[in-house]
Amino acid sequence: MTTTTTPATDQWFYSHQGQQRGPVTLDELRALLAGGQVMWSEMVWSAGMVNWSPANQVAALRPPPSAAAPGNLPPPLPPQAMNYAGPIPRSERYHDVGDDPRMRMLIPVGRSPWAIIAGYLGLLSPLMIFAPFALIVSIIAMRDIKRNRSHGMGRAVFGLIMGGLCTIAAGVMIVAIIADSRSSNPPARGGGTYQGGRK
């Protein structure tokens, strides 16, 4: 059903996503409707109209029939469904997973490969054999992160700390073992070698 009354004024108001907009001229509102910025299901009002009406029911908003030859243009689009959800918020649009700090905590995305290796070697550092490697790889990882501006500094620092602590602990243990073995087996005094005979 199309409203046949044509408002007497050239100032139009329209609703857009639940808010009143305008005033705009009749030609501006037609352009907004034709361009899709305003849906045909949105409400419009102008002086002379009793109530707000959907744009698709107001005859004055349709382009004048003399604007073009009828065979050259397709008929107007049917009314479109109202977008109740609105535009997708910027925070929910697609983005690179490596830019999301929460995702970087779960999966090693956007990190320096050296930092990932340093983190795992840091976890294995208490086995002592991996501690010096964790220390070396962590230093390489920190240089790589600064050079390439990638992520993973936390893993590199973890590897550095664990590698350093466990390397020091391994060194202390080796020194203690050597000192203990020397104290339990003191060298023979007397200067001579034992020949196996009686004196």
Residue 128 pLDDT more than 80?
Answer: yes
Q: For 169-188, give one letter per residue: b (16+ CB within 10 A) or e.
A: ebeeeeeeeeeeeeeeeeee
State mean pLDDT over 141-148.
87
Rounded average pLDDT over 122-142: 90
Domain spans in the chain, listed from the N-terminal domain onward: 12-67, 97-182
How far are the Cα atoms of 39, 59, 69, 79, 100 from residue 26, in angstroms, in the given order? 15, 12, 21, 19, 46
pLDDT at 94: 56
CATH architecture of 12-67: 2-Layer Sandwich (3.30)
Of residues 17, 13, 10, the one with CA closest to residue 51:
13
What residue type is 173 in one-letter code?
Answer: M
Per-residue pLDDT of 79-106, as tens digits, reads 766 666 566 555 555 556 666 667 666 6
- Average model confidence (pLDDT) across the chain: 78
Global pTM exceeds 0.75:
no
What pLDDT shows up at residue 162?
Answer: 92
* Residues 118-128, mean pLDDT to the nearest whole number: 89
Q: For residues 9 and 47, what is the distance between their CA atoms, to the nearest angstrom?
A: 6
- pLDDT score of 199: 52
Q: What is the DSSP string of 21-87?
A: EEEE-HHHHHHHHHHTSS-TTSEEEETT-SS-EEGGGBGGGSPPGGGS-TTTSPPPPPPPPP-SS-S
pLDDT in tens, 38-47: 888 888 988 8
Whether omega for the bond prior to residue 23 falls within 30 degrees of 0, making it cis, is yes
Say if CB 56 and CB 41 are below 8 A apart: yes
For residue 4, give the nearest of 60, 80, 50 by alpha carbon. Answer: 60
- What is the rounded CA–CA span in Å between residue 147 and residue 143? 6
- With residue 13 as reference, give the H or E element that holds it: strand 12-16
What integer pLDDT is reported at residue 147 of this predicted model?
87
pLDDT digits (tens, 9 = 90+) for 159-196: 999 999 999 999 999 999 998 888 877 666 655 555 55
CA nearest neighbour of 22 among 4, 7, 43, 36:
43
pLDDT the model gives residue 1: 47
